[in-house]
């Protein structure tokens, strides 16, 4: 019997803690051919979320081959080593930090969607998933703080919902999902891990397994939603 052709995935942010684990898991267990993209290093293509022409070039480069089953956006920004940190109070709101956080967490993924959604299969199940965060849920915001990051993820969730409505008209089998990965042991969460404790902290591989299971379980009627690592829908 002829072997079914491998499914095809593109992972943007493959240098990240979660992104690298998703690439490894897709290759090991998911039966996917994976194309990787990152800002620098040895990925299949390079792009910077703050430079639309680099995103367009990357999509053109990978768009020459077969349509894909999965686009996974694993990029994101919370803090930088140079002291750029999430706000504890409105007194810390700073336009430069807020602009950068929005550029990477909301505008960049929207530009990726603009250039990569056309690469998805049009006649069968095809998924675009973007890593978001529970703290971007307006409904779930009980603690306050992290004003820019929260708002950028809320914006990301709305953008993905809006793209989902539009994409469903082109392909009724398509799914776009924002995903909350849990608290995962990566560079992004490292300065903030004390509050969750070791028991609440996922290894990137565990997180990748959980998120790929969620992606597998999603149906077209779920498209546009925000989902946790356990598959539960998180209210906007
Ligand atoms: N870790 C957690 O506990 C946690 C919790 C909730 C949500 N999330 C979300 O999960 C996602 C991934 O986080 P992570 O923990 O894997 O973080 P990470 O290890 O810091 O990875 C972040 C990724 O984003 C890329 N990136 C940042 N700015 C970019 C730009 N301008 N252009 C292109 N790529 C850029 C980084 O590329 P470089 O390697 O070039 O810097 C890296 O690949 C983020 O959206 C984050 O908000 C994480």
Closest Cα to atom 20 of ligand 1 = 188
> What is the arithmetic mean of pLDDT over 170-197?
93
The pLDDT assigned to 29 comes to 80
Q: Which of 116, 137, 152, 181 best tests ligand 1's pocket when mutated (most atoms within 8 Å of CB)?
A: 181
Q: Is ligand 1 within 6 A of the CB of residue 152?
A: no
Q: Is ligand 1 within 6 A of the CB of residue 38?
A: yes
Q: Which CATH class is domain 7-234?
A: alpha beta
Closest Cα to atom 40 of ligand 1 = 39
> What is the arithmetic mean of pLDDT over 28-51?
93
Percent share of the chain, pLDDT over 70? 98
The pLDDT assigned to 167 comes to 98
Residue 95 has pLDDT above 70, yes or no: yes
Residue 5 has pLDDT above 90, yes or no: no
pTM above 0.95, yes or no: yes
> What is the arithmetic mean of pLDDT over 40-67?
93
The pLDDT assigned to 194 comes to 83
Long-range contacts (CB closer than 8 Å, 24 or more residues apart) made by 17-21: 17/184, 17/185, 17/186, 17/187, 17/188, 17/204, 18/74, 18/131, 18/181, 18/184, 18/186, 18/204, 18/207, 18/208, 18/211, 19/72, 19/74, 19/75, 20/204, 21/203, 21/204, 21/205, 21/207, 21/208
The pLDDT assigned to 213 comes to 97
Interval 70-89: pLDDT, tens: 999 999 999 998 889 999 99
Per-residue confidence at 2, pLDDT binned at 50, 70, 90? low
Compute CA distances 235 → 22, 155, 157, 214, whole Å. 25, 14, 10, 16
What's the chain's average pLDDT? 95
The pLDDT assigned to 1 comes to 55
Residue 58 has pLDDT above 80, yes or no: yes
For residues 206 and 28, what is the distance between their CA atoms, to the nearest angstrom?
14
The pLDDT assigned to 141 comes to 95
Residue 153 has pLDDT above 90, yes or no: yes
Closest Cα to atom 24 of ligand 1 = 75
The pLDDT assigned to 197 comes to 76
Contact 194, 215 (CB under 8 A): no
For the chain, the three-class secondary structure string (H helix, E strand, C coil) is: CCCCCCEEEEEECCCCHHHHHHHHHHHHCCCEEEEEEECCCCCCEECCCCCHHHHHHHHHHHCCCCCECEEEECCCCCCCCCCCCCCCCHHHCCHHHHHHHHHHHHHHHHHHHHHHHHHECCCCCEEEEEECCHHHCCCCCCCCCCHHHHHHHHHHHHHHHHHHHHHHHHCCCEEEEEEECCEECCCCCHHHHHHCCHHHEECHHHHHHHHHHHHHHCCHHHCCCEEECCCCEECC
Residue 4 has pLDDT above 70, yes or no: no
> What is the arithmetic mean of pLDDT over 41-53?
96
140 C-alpha to ligand 1 centroid (Å): 22
């Amino acid at each position: 019997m002829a072997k079914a052709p491998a499914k095809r995935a593109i992972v943007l942010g493959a240098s990240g803690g979660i992104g690298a684990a998703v690439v490894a898991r897709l290759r090991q267990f998911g039966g996917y051919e994976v194309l990787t993209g990152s800002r620098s290093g040895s990925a299949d293509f390079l792009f910077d979320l703050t430079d639309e022409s680099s995103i367009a070039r990357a999509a053109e480069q990978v768009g020459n081959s077969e349509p894909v089953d999965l686009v996974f956006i694993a990029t994101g920004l919370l803090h930088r080593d140079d002291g750029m940190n999430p706000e504890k109070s409105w007194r810390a709101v700073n336009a430069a930090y807020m602009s950068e956080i929005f550029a990477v967490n909301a505008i960049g993924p929207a530009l990726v969607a603009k250039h990569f959604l056309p690469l998805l299969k049009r006649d069968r199940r095809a998924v675009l998933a973007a890593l978001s965060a529970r703290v971007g849920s307006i409904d779930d915001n009980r603690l306050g703080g992290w004003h820019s990051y929260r708002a950028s993820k809320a914006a990301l969730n709305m953008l993905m919902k809006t793209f989902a409505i539009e994409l469903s008209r082109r392909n009724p089998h398509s799914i776009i999902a924002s995903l909350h990965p849990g608290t995962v042991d990566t560079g992004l969460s490292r300065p903030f891990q004390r509050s969750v404790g070791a028991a609440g902290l996922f290894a990137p591989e565990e997180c990748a397994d959980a998120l790929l299971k969620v992606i597998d379980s999603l149906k077209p009627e779920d498209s546009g939603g925000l989902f946790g690592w356990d598959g539960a829908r998180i209210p906007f």
